[in-house]
Structure 1
Amino acid sequence: MSSASKAFNEAEAVYARGAKSELSSDFSAAFRLYLAAADAFLHLSRSESLNPVFRARCKANAAKALERAEKIKKASEQPGATFEVDAVPIDWFAQEQQQYILRKSSVINSIRYPIWTDAVPMAGPNVLYTDPDGQPSVPQYAIFSADGSSRFLSWNRPVNAAPTLPPLPSPTFSTPSVVSEPNVDLAPADIEQHLINDCSVCAVLAVCVQHAKTFNSKLLSSIYPGRQPGRYDIKVLINGTHRRVTIDDALPFDSNGNPIGISTGAKNILWPALIEKAYMKLMGGYDFPGSNSAIDLHALSGWIPEFIDLHSTSFEKERTWTRLMRGFHNGHCVLTVGTDSKTTRRIKGLRLLPSHNYAVIDVRETAAERWMTLLDSRVPGRSSPLMSEYESHALDMRWDDLCATFEGVYASWDPRLFHRELSFHGMWKPRNAEDMEQSCVRHLRLLYTYTPSSSQTGCDTYPVSDNEVWVLLVRHRPDAPRTGEYITATVDAEDEWMDAGVSLGRLPSLAGGRAKAEAKIKGIYTTSTHVLVRTKVRISQVPHSQCGSSTPSFLSPSPARRPATPGSPTSSSLSQSSVSSVSGALTVLACYDGPYDDVCFTVSVFCGSGLSIKWDESAGVGGIGVKGHSMKVEGVFTTKNSGGNHSHPTYMLNPQWHLRIFEQEAIRRSVSPAAGASSSRASGTAQSPSGSHGDKAAVIVTARGPRDVPLNLTIVWSTGERVVELAQREVVATSGAYGYGYARAFANLPLGNYTVILSTFEPQVHFGAFTLKVESSRKFEFEPIPQEGAGMYARVTRGRWDMQSAAGSPIHNRYHLNPVYEVDIPSTAQFGARLHLTSGPQSASLNLSLFPAVEPLSINCPLASSGPYSDALAGVDIPKRTLRAGKYWLVPSTWVAGIQAEFKLVVYCSDSGCAVRKRTSE
């Protein structure tokens, strides 16, 4: 019995068990069995190696099983139903599901592109092949000239070229590929771009030709002669796997007999034009919407694409130059550069074209300068007035000038640099999901074990260190013209924020545990189909194996770890030779924002030689959360509550909630697969009460907002009050660096009270609606914390200490010279006030005191005060209190005299008639 027949019989047996369960009224079991049978039949129906009649039978049986399951589900939803059915979770890591995603993504622009290993239909070996899909469409600008006259002639094969065309030799390609033809002798300048606007593809061909000449490589050895004359099969990496693009050898020419696509000039070598045609067919036609060379080369050769934004705030010019130069000269990478849409600059008399790709054919460094040689493949028409400008296609540019002129560098890296590659194929389903926020984000948990590699040659010459991890997210293309789709990827170490010696922003905390480090940002959304994230696993840490677990668990508290000290085993100066195996996990978030449903994607992971990696299949891909209680709230960031990150004094204005976890029996002490893919790192705090793991609640807090708003979630140990300023010792969980449109924090929290803070990156810049979801394994309350002065009238005054009024504290005996503000309260009312700096030294210690408006000012008997002088980033405040009707004096001061700075004074009062004015000297 064949394997297919055996699988068919097993599926029928599962269906029969489902029918038996249905007859015995065990509808829940019947529902699960029918779905399992349908899945088995569908898997068989997708196998193209089987007989079409057999596949049709499998498909019919699958439909029958799904029909029975659907009837049971509808019956369970009727009023008064005595049974329930649970949706069977999808095993995304199952081989059948992975293959389903790849098969689903086979259709691009209404043409099916089979997986490369699928069987090739047989045809007559002597029949001239004509592509049944037709020829790729040609854009209007290539068909008609500017005056409206036609210039596109026809498609011509090498064997029947028109007499007016230049002689085109019939290609006699050898197996296995065209590129390996021994008579092929191309130079990068031989690749010529004509009418078709596919400069990125031309740049790819040019850099590949240069790489072949220098390193005797075969980057484009992906074109194979078919089994019929005039047929060619091109192997491309698209939509998660290698696929077959089949074309005939007809090429487009204009009415003058000139090619409108890529040519090789007088050498008349055809394989570049054939590769261009295959790629244009894949992209929807010669009216190519545009791409970048790294993405094109990823499809044509599998090399890893990296976009380096030359104008990003995180761009490191010197380090990038060193990495690119070494990679280029060792043959590990090829490079192109691209201009933006507004480029008009002229370099050495040559006008750069907007939105244009240039091949980099040389990278060199002299004693005085660093240079790149660029090549432009575009060849203008002979009647073009710009012809003189293009007599020389090569252009030498200094690295500094290139960084200032071009938008970005497109680098493509040899995947053989990496020890191992691991892939996952998944799907976003935002429109059909009950929780769109969850369905637009997929969480993957990557387990790793690091052992120092003895085979690596060293970081000075090898571009990939042995603890390096690259993660590539690729959105599948179902239809090239689709717009409005954005993706992003983030990668985090689960233990990044668990080390007590690492404060917010990875910088030492200030005195008192305050966190004023520089906040970080990540996860920028892009319309590109490819996003690359480069990271390294930490090696200067205590191995998890020494902590009692080889892989970190989100269901148990993390072991306490002390800050690294010089000479200690966890010191950052730890050499690789003294590091034993370290195990851990990385969280990979693949995010989508767009109007479409069932959008497929692939995540590929490449790791250095010291790492072994695998997916944590038990963690799933997220989208469920903690099993227990949940609550969802909505809000809007406005000018009043967009307070920015913790380095701003306005951080306290961000939305905050009081989270209270009750003491009760846990509903289910387990976390769903979503928890396993958390992007947070938390281990509790020194203030947390001790207790066993059973006394804690598994809590996930998830926030989602506009894709252009960077978000962060922080959970703080508190009594439920509004947090004015973060202290490192009070933070129990955080979502880490700010992520565009998404933040997620996870922690096992002891019972008690907490404050949850959702913040934007910049104050008064990022606005928009957001949703926040809390999931907990124990019962909880979640209530918004009112803003400071809520329900009261605010009076805002801006002032400054100048040379005369910077009198300092009372110890300087000039306290009465500080600015004095008169507060007039018409009736008994609630009163409060806050003072903070708006310019000057941010570390100045402040005080705000309230006195009776009685001459002379008596500094020894204030009615209220902000307390001891404090250099808190958010300033100082007089807590809310009740004041009788009358006049009062508010005195802001610094501890040190002579500090000239500007400040902001906010007075809150429940009486609308309250007035605040600066008291003038008499």
Structure 2
Amino acid sequence: MTRLREFKSKALQAERDVSTSTTHTEALEAAIRAAENYMHALRLASDPREKKALDAKCKEYITQAEHLKHLKEGGGVQSNASASARAEVRQRREPVSTRTLSNREQIILLENSKLNGFVFPPWSAQPGPEEFELDEEDELFTDCSELGLSASQQQMFDGWKRPSEIFTEARKEDRDILMMSKNPMDLVQDVTTDCSVVASLCAGVSQDVRGYPQLAQTIKMYPCDKDTSIPQLSPSGKYIFRMHFNGCYRKVVIDDRLPSSKTSRSLFVVDRNSPTVIWPALVEKAYLKVRGGYDFPGSNSGTDMWILTGWIPEQIFLHHDEVTCDQIWDRLFNSFLAADVLLTIGTGKLTSREEREVGLISSHDYAILDMRESNGKRQFLIKNPWAGGAKWKGVSGASAVSALQEIEFEFSSPQRSPLSPGTFWMDCDEVFQNFENLYLNWNPRLFRYRQDIHFRWNLSSAPPVPGCFTENPQFAITSKSGGKLWLLLNKHFKSGETSDAVNQLLDPEVDEPGFISIYVFNKRGQRVYLSDGAIHRSPYVDSPNTLVRLDMPPNTTFTAVVAEQSLHRSIQSFSLSGFSTGPLSVCPATEKYAHVRKVQAAWTLSTAGGNAESERYPLNPQFKLKVSEKCDVAVLLETDNGDLATHVKIFWSKGERVAEVRLRDIVCDSGDYRRGFALAEADAMTKGTYTIVCSTFAPDQLGKFTLRVSSTHPCEVKPLPREGAGRLLMSSGLGVLSPGTDRILAPITVSRLSRLKLVARRKGSWIGHRTVAPSPILMTLELGQGPYKEILAASGDGDFSDLVTGARIESVDLQPELGLTGGMAAQTFHTA
């Protein structure tokens, strides 16, 4: 027995050496030592169960040794320096957020523990053996509620059964076959539509064959062996999982009852090489409990892997113009060989004909088991997780089949098992042609630091126009040392979302789930108003996670903005996680403008004057802005009609209505007209009184809007009375300046003291039937005629003007006595 324990101890040490080795050669030697010591221990063991376990371990490390030898011969070995760095990563602990959570954040995490009728509390500590013990008088653990099944699943459902009831061949003295596989695992789904889950499991367990058994163990399942983390049978039928969702690692508890089938088809994931192994089915059940049941419509494998393992998800759109085969291969190949990334891949929508011709399934996730580069060929080893799924057929014809067989032969050795059904090699270029999305899940141990922040966003009050960020959650990201920084945005699950997804599949008219993104600005951690000027932006995705990767210079603070499109207009919960190689901090962004004033207004039939080239521009809503001391000012116009093209200008105008648009009077404006909102910013605006004009692009465009004036010091904002407010409107007939005539007179008579505003607008200019550019005009208000007339007022300071708003004489007071001394007239001139 002493010799037996010695060999087992040496084998365990060799296992650890495999995971901590710095080169493939060291890993190969350690794998051979592990296999040899397990072989010696097997010869000395007498207990049948122990012999079976030792035999399985021996075969496992023989397979790993063969794979490592193949890697070494295939030229996949990298430099010792990079291998050493990878070994350091594997030994490093997963980074943990050190931020002290506010009371509000703690409430968010606790309230979001309730999901789909179950409670998943935040993870506190791994359970002890006593949680799984079963006394003689105790009954087996049974969960509080059973998971839902779809209609097709219910037709073949034969009840919830324990593993001993399903696999009657697993005798009490031989129960290890329920947790241990003698051969490399070949996991497949059947009836349950959870290809994303099974593809994730396939990608994870494939690392065993590649010499990284510890990666499959990142799925934390209890009870398990304390040294190897290999799952063990629970005497009580109770299993506990650690899964990452809704902002943190959470505790998921299930019983060992699985949905049995009346037919030969399976309702849970199975290992075709060892059908009695149940731990993948238990992982699947725990995940489906989180997502609402076995009537699961599907997800994406990047999200599922994030939940199962906590590895950082990233989604790459293979059909994007900026994504190339060379770029992706160069980025992933070394990381994949180092087991720093897990890969899955998904198809887009395919017609039935395309499915038959190509041999791929529409909107389906596949696992990537391996990557190889040899003789100029770059291939992915891809697995279809569906047991009844077709195998990829290539382009067409015998040449494609021949080429595929050649690739499989090239990368298969006599020692290696042949490819399992549904598994195939595909050239990198063909992957880009036939698949739509590539899902990456990165080892969080690549980073030393992590900070999380949790928040809610009330979308019922958010602006409906994309690109306006006034109400968006914004955060300051600070790094003193700089370096690589990844920001991951995660939208929390809500009860009933799975049912909504099912309804969306059945009825295309049902609203889509919406999209999320992250914008990053170099704004020193201050809030921004618009989407313009972002230095980085993650893609808008309809999954719960989106990632942005960037490099931060030292002593830098960026502003990160959470953005959405078409999310349900309700309160949504999110978590933002920052991963970096150097210390970082994540906190709410600061507001540059400490003082904000809001005014509600509208463009009506009498105030919708159009742009500055319209003669009716002065009719637009105008506001008086009083600045009491020098400060920075931002004026934001927001409308709830996203189709309205809007604009805002600030004028030097003493707080009076603007009648003429002159460049010298414009302090700042919002630039080009844009739909839904407009922003004008002025730094160091001097003390004084200004006028704000809000306009739409075309006249007679009606709608409500909000004017938001933000400033670093208190300012006063008041709406100005509309053009002609409180006055009677009187219009003359249409006057025509015929050829040779340079003036028109319009007599004016007042019966009492009156204040007048006079406006003369052009209606057009013609020579014959040809339209010509109008001549500048001047309007004067005169008392009397002839050499003794008196000019009481003139437009444009007495200068001729070609302004489209016409010639104007602002407020003039007239007395009736003036008319008795020679009459009054408004006279309009034009230049020849």
| TM-score bucket of the superposed structures, by smaller chain | 0.5 to 0.7
Alignment partner for residue 238 of structure 1, among 220, 241, 245? Answer: 245
Cα distance change, pair 481–253 in 1 and its aligned pair in 2 (3 A): same
Aligned counterpart, 1:804: none
**TM-score under structure 1 normalisation?**
0.52
- CA displacement, residues 522-570 of structure 1 (integer Å, 9 cap, x when unaligned): 6776542222233343x3xxxxxxxxxxxxxxxxxxxxxxxxxxxxxxx
| Paired residues of 2:133 and 2:236 also in contact (CA < 8 A) | no
Query: 1:169, 1:350 → 2: CA distance?
Result: 48
Q: 1:468 maps to which residue?
A: 485
- TM-superposed deviation, 1:274: 0.8
Judged with a 3 Å threshold, the aligned counterparts in structure 2 of structure 1 residues 399 and 743 are, in CA distance, closer, same or farther, namely farther
Letter in 2 for 1:585: F
Deviation at 1:194, TM superposition (A): 0.8
- Quick check: 2:669–2:681 contact (8 Å CA) kept in 1? no
1:109 maps to 116
- Structure 1 pair 339–215 and aligned structure 2 pair: CA distance change class (3 A): same
User: 1:473, 1:531 within 8 Å by CA — same for their partners in 2?
Assistant: yes
> Alignment partner of 1:267: what SS?
coil
The separation in 1 between residues aligned to 2:660 and 2:443, in whole angstroms, is: 49
8 Å contact kept, 1:632–1:774? no
Distance 1:710 1:222 in 2: 53
Give the drift of 1:723.
14
Query: Structure 2: how far apart are the matches of 1:423 and 1:446?
Result: 12
3-state secondary structure, aligned to 1:115: coil
Q: 1:749 to 1:370 in 2, by over 3 A?
A: farther
Partners of 1:374 and 1:397 within 8 A in 2: yes
Contact map agreement 1:864 1:878 (CA 8 A) in 2? yes
Alignment correspondent of 2:549? 534
1:292 to partner: Cα distance = 0.2
Q: What's 2:166 paired with?
A: 161
Letter in 2 for 1:493: F
What corresponds to 2:455 in structure 1?
Answer: 426
| Counterpart Cα distance in 1 of 2:484 and 2:182 | 40
Q: Does 1:586 align with 2:559?
A: yes
C-alpha contact (below 8 Å) 1:487/1:527 kept by paired residues:
yes
CA deviations on 1:879-901 (whole Å, 9 max, x unpaired) are: 52769xxxxxxxxxxxxxxxxxx
Q: How does 1:833-844 map to 2 (within 5 A)?
A: none
Residue number in structure 1 paired with 2:804: 880
Q: Does the Cα contact within 8 Å between 1:93 and 1:424 map onto a contact in 2?
A: no
Cα distance change of structure 1 residues 297 and 779 upon mapping to structure 2, 3 Å threshold: same
Separation (CA, whole Å) in 2 of partners of 1:770 and 1:521:
30
The Cα of 1:230 is off from its aligned counterpart by 1.3
Residue 445 of structure 2 corresponds to 416
Does 2:431 correspond to 1:402?
yes
What is the correspondence of 1:771-786 to structure 2 with a 5 Å cutoff? Answer: 773-776=708-711, 777-781=713-717
Amino acid at match of 2:715: K
- How far apart, CA to CA, are the structure 1 residues paired with 2:659 and 2:197? 56
In structure 1, the partner of 2:205 is: 209
| Distance in 2 between residues matched to 1:103 and 1:482, nearest whole Å | 23
Taking a change above 3 Å as real, the CA distance of residues 393 and 436 of structure 1, as seen in their structure-2 partners, is closer
| Equivalent of 1:599 in 572, 582, 590 | 572
Which residue, out of 126, 134, 138, partners 1:125? 134
Q: Structure 1 residues 881 and 493, CA, compared in 2 at 3 Å: closer, same or farther?
A: closer
- Aligned ranges 1:340-351 → 2 under 5 Å: 340-344=348-352, 346=354, 350-351=358-359
Aligned equivalent of 2:636, options 698, 701, 717? 701
CA distance in 1, matches of 2:644, 2:321: 15
- 1:233 Cα deviation from its structure 2 partner: 0.5
Hey, what does 1:276 align to over in structure 2? 284
Which of 448, 464, 486 lines up with 2:514 in the alignment? 486
Local SS of the residue matching 1:481: helix
Q: How far apart are residue 253 of structure 1 and its match?
A: 2.4
Structure 1, residues 350-374: CA drift from partner, whole Å, max 9, x if none? 4221111011223344565543332
Counterpart contact for 1:201–1:276, Cα < 8 Å: yes
Cα distance change of structure 1 residues 854 and 208 upon mapping to structure 2, 3 Å threshold? closer
Partner of 2:737: none
Change (3 A) 1:627 1:273: same
Q: Contact 2:761–2:806 (CA<8 Å) still a contact in 1?
A: yes
Runs of at least 5 residues in structure 2 that lack an aligned partner in the other structure: 1-98, 224-232, 391-400, 402-418, 501-510, 723-744, 747-759, 778-800, 808-832
1:615 partner letter: V
Q: 1:533 to 1:345 in 2, by over 3 A?
A: farther
Q: Deviations over 1:426-472 (max 9, x none)?
A: 122355x79999999443332413436xxxxxxxxxxxxx2433232
2:132 touches 2:238 (CA, 8 Å); kept in 1? Answer: no
In terms of mean alpha carbon deviation, does 708-717 or 394-403 score higher?
708-717
Give yes or no for contact 1:335–1:360 (8 Å, CA) kept in 2. Answer: yes
Q: 1:408 to 1:167 in 2, by over 3 A?
A: farther
Matches within 5 A, 1:613-632: 613-616=584-587, 619=589, 626-632=594-600
Matches within 5 A, 1:225-374: 225=223, 228-256=235-263, 258-268=265-275, 269-312=277-320, 315=323, 318-344=326-352, 346=354, 350-365=358-373, 368-374=376-382
1:772 Cα deviation from its structure 2 partner:
5.6
Cα distance in 2 between the residues matched to 1:486 and 1:210: 33
Are 1:487 and 1:593, in contact at CA under 8 Å, matched by a contact in 2?
Answer: yes
- Native 8 Å contact 2:514 2:566 kept in 1: yes
- Mapped partners of 1:601, 1:94: distance in 2: 14
How many residue pairs get aligned? The number is 579
Please name the residue that 2:494 is paired with.
477
Preserved contact between residue 201 and residue 296 of structure 1 (Cα < 8 Å): yes
Asked if the contact 1:137–1:284 (Cα under 8 Å) also holds between the matched residues in 2, the reply is yes
Residue identity opposite 2:303 in structure 1: I
Checking the alignment, whether the CA contact within 8 Å between 1:205 and 1:272 is kept in structure 2 is yes
SS of match in other structure, 2:273: helix
Pairing 1:656-805 to 2, within 5 Å after superposition? 661-664=625-628, 695-699=630-634, 701=636, 703=638, 748-751=683-686, 773-776=708-711, 777-781=713-717
Provide, for residues 777-805 of structure 1, a one-character-per-residue CA deviation record: whole Å limited to 9, x for no partner. Answer: 5335587999xxxxxxxxxxxxxxxxxxx
Aligned counterparts of 1:741 and 1:211: Cα–Cα separation in 2: 51
Could you say what secondary structure the match of 2:159 adopts?
A: strand
Q: How far off is 1:285 after superposition?
A: 0.7
Deviation, structure 1 residue 270: 1.6
- Within the candidate set 202, 215, 218, 2:215 is matched to 218
Tell me the percent identity. 22
8 Å CA contact 1:733, 1:747 repeated in 2:
no
Q: Which consecutive unaligned segments of at least 5 residues does structure 1 have?
A: 1-91, 145-150, 383-388, 453-465, 499-503, 507-518, 540-580, 644-648, 665-693, 787-826, 834-849, 866-876, 884-922
Give how far 1:625 is off. 7.7
CA deviation digits over 1:672-727, x for unaligned, max 9? xxxxxxxxxxxxxxxxxxxxxx5114546374768x99999998898898999x9x
Alignment check: 8 A CA contact 2:668 2:680 kept:
no
SS in 1 for 2:281: helix
Distance (Å, rounded) in 1 between the aligned partners of 2:498 and 2:594: 39
Q: 1:407, 1:758 → 2: CA distance?
A: 44
- Do the aligned partners of 1:489 and 1:523 also contact (CA within 8 Å) in 2? yes
Alignment correspondent of 1:143: 154
Cα distance in 2 for residues equivalent to 1:367 and 1:714? 62
Could you tell me whether the CA contact under 8 Å between 2:519 and 2:537 is conserved in 1? no
CA distances 1:150-196 after superposition (whole Å, capped 9, x unpaired)? x3223322223365x8989975599xxx7xx7x66534xx0111111
User: Shift in Å at residue 203 of structure 1?
Assistant: 0.6
- What is the distance in 2 between the residues matched to 1:533 and 1:131? 42
Q: Letter of the aligned partner of 2:523 in structure 1?
A: D
Q: Contact (CA 8 Å) 2:596, 2:708: kept in 1 or not? A: no
Over 3 Å counting, the alpha-carbon distance change for 1:119 and 1:340 in structure 2 is: closer
Quick check: 2:115–2:290 contact (8 Å CA) kept in 1? Answer: yes
Cα distance 1:631–1:280, how it changes in 2: closer, same or farther (>3 A)?
same
Give the partner amino acid of 1:398: D
